Structure 1
Amino acid sequence: MTGTRQQLHNIGRRRAYAIWATALAVYVLAVFHRTSLGVAGLLAAERFDISASQLATFTVLQLAVYAAMQIPVGVLLDRFGSKALIVTGLVAMTIGQLWFSVADSFAFALAARALLGAGDAMLFTSILRLIALWFLVRQAPVVTQLTGMIGQMGAVAAAIPLSAALHTWGWTMTYATAAFLGVIATAAILLVVKDSPYEKGAVERIKIRALRHSLTEVWRDPGTRLGMSVHFATQFAPTVFALLWGYPFLVSGQGLTPTQASALLTWMTIVALFVGPTIGRLTAIHPYWRSMMALGVVGSISLVWAIVLALPVRSPLWLLIVLVSVTAFGGPGSMIAFDLARSFHRSERYGRASGVVNMGGFIASLTTMALIGYVLDRMAPGGPETYTLDDFRVAMSSQFLMWGFGAWMIWRYRRHSLRRVARVPGAFEALRDGSTLLPGISRDRDED
Structure 2
Amino acid sequence: MSTDPETVRPAAVAAVPGQRAPVAVPAVAPVPAPGGRAAWFAWAVAATVYVLAVIHRTSLGVAGIDAADRFGIGASALSTFAVLQVLVYAAMQIPVGLLVDRYGPKRVLLGGILLLSLGQLAFAFSTAFGPALASRAVLGCGDAMTFISVLRIAARWFPAAQNPMVAQITGLAGMGGNLLTTAVLAQALHSEGWTASFTAVALLGVAVFAAVALLLREAPPGVTVVPPVAEGRPALRSQVRDSWREPGTRLGLWVHFTTAFPAGAFGLLWGMPYLVEGQGLSRGEAGGLLTLLVFSNMVFALLLGRILLRSVRARMPITLTVITVTATTWAAVLAWPGATPPTWLLVTLLVVMGTNGPASLVGLDYARAHNPPTRLGTATGIANMGGFLGIVTTLLGVGLLLDALTPAGAAHSADGYRWALCWLFVPLAFGTGMILHLRRKVG
Task: State whether structure 2 residue 239 is matched by structure 1 residue 235.
Answer: no
Most deviating of 35-44 and 67-76: 35-44
Q: Report what 1:331 is aligned to.
A: 357
Change (3 A) 1:204 1:178: farther
For residue 69 of structure 1, report the CA deviation from its aligned partner: 0.7
Change (3 A) 1:105 1:245: closer
Q: Report what 1:436 is aligned to.
A: none
Percent identity among equivalent residues?
Answer: 42
Task: State whether structure 2 residue 199 is matched by structure 1 residue 173.
Answer: no
Residue deviations 1:80-105 (CA, integer Å, cap 9, x gap): 11101000001111222222233343
Change (3 A) 1:293 1:379: same
Task: State whether structure 2 residue 248 is matched by structure 1 residue 223.
Answer: yes
For residue 25 of structure 1, report the CA deviation from its aligned partner: 1.3
CA contact (8 A) 1:238 1:328 kept: yes
Change (3 A) 1:397 1:39: closer
For residue 288 of structure 1, report the CA deviation from its aligned partner: 2.0
For residue 137 of structure 1, report the CA deviation from its aligned partner: 2.5
Q: Report what 1:84 is aligned to.
A: 107
Distance in 2 between the 1:285 and 1:204 partners?
36
Change (3 A) 1:413 1:80: same
> 1:395 aligned to 400, 408, 420, which one?
420
Distance in 2 between the 1:384 and 1:282 partners?
48
Q: Report what 1:246 is aligned to.
A: 271
CA contact (8 A) 1:39 1:163 kept: yes
Q: Report what 1:105 is aligned to.
A: 128
Distance in 1 between the 2:230 and 2:408 partners?
55
> 2:391 aligned to 365, 373, 397, which one?
365
Task: State whether structure 2 residue 355 is matched by structure 1 residue 351.
Answer: no
Change (3 A) 1:362 1:49: same
Q: Report what 2:18 is aligned to.
A: none
For residue 383 of structure 1, report the CA deviation from its aligned partner: 5.8
Unmatched segments (≥5 aa) in structure 1: 419-448
For residue 187 of structure 1, report the CA deviation from its aligned partner: 1.2
Task: State whether structure 2 residue 81 is matched by structure 1 residue 58.
Answer: yes
Three-state SS of the structure 2 residue aligned to 1:398 is helix
Q: Report what 2:25 is aligned to.
A: none
Distance in 1 between the 2:254 and 2:197 partners?
39
For residue 384 of structure 1, report the CA deviation from its aligned partner: 6.2
Residue deviations 1:384-426 (CA, integer Å, cap 9, x gap): 614232x3333222222211221222222221011xxxxxxxx
TM-score by length of 2: 0.87
Change (3 A) 1:169 1:5: same
CA contact (8 A) 2:76 2:396 kept: no
Residue deviations 1:226-257 (CA, integer Å, cap 9, x gap): 11111011000001111222233333333433
Change (3 A) 1:282 1:388: same
CA contact (8 A) 2:76 2:403 kept: no
For residue 47 of structure 1, report the CA deviation from its aligned partner: 4.1
For residue 379 of structure 1, report the CA deviation from its aligned partner: 2.5
Q: Report what 2:440 is aligned to.
A: 415
Distance in 1 between the 2:128 and 2:402 partners?
28
> 1:378 aligned to 404, 407, 419, which one?
404
Q: Report what 1:422 is aligned to.
A: none
Task: State whether structure 2 residue 28 is matched by structure 1 residue 5.
Answer: no
Change (3 A) 1:278 1:383: farther
Q: Report what 1:116 is aligned to.
A: 139
Change (3 A) 1:175 1:9: farther
CA contact (8 A) 1:283 1:289 kept: yes
Change (3 A) 1:249 1:102: closer
For residue 126 of structure 1, report the CA deviation from its aligned partner: 0.7
Q: Report what 1:264 is aligned to.
A: 289
Three-state SS of the structure 2 residue aligned to 1:139 is helix
CA contact (8 A) 1:377 1:383 kept: no
Q: Report what 1:214 is aligned to.
A: 239
Amino acid at match of 2:9: R
TM-score by length of 1: 0.87
Task: State whether structure 2 residue 57 is matched by structure 1 residue 31.
Answer: no
Change (3 A) 1:10 1:223: closer
Distance in 2 between the 1:312 and 1:87 partners?
51
Distance in 2 between the 1:38 and 1:114 partners?
16
Task: State whether structure 2 residue 92 is matched by structure 1 residue 69.
Answer: yes
> 2:368 aligned to 330, 342, 348, which one?
342
Amino acid at match of 2:256: H
Three-state SS of the structure 1 residue aligned to 2:411 is helix
CA contact (8 A) 1:309 1:397 kept: yes
Q: Please report the RMSD computed on the Cα atoms of aligned residues, expressed in angstroms.
A: 2.3
For residue 191 of structure 1, report the CA deviation from its aligned partner: 1.7
For residue 131 of structure 1, report the CA deviation from its aligned partner: 1.4
For residue 50 of structure 1, report the CA deviation from its aligned partner: 4.1
Most deviating of 130-139 and 78-87: 130-139
Change (3 A) 1:298 1:206: farther
Alignment length, in residue pairs? Answer: 417
Distance in 2 between the 1:52 and 1:206 partners?
51
Distance in 2 between the 1:75 and 1:19 partners?
22
CA contact (8 A) 1:233 1:361 kept: yes
Most deviating of 165-174 and 319-328: 165-174
Most deviating of 27-36 and 170-179: 170-179
Unmatched segments (≥5 aa) in structure 2: 11-29
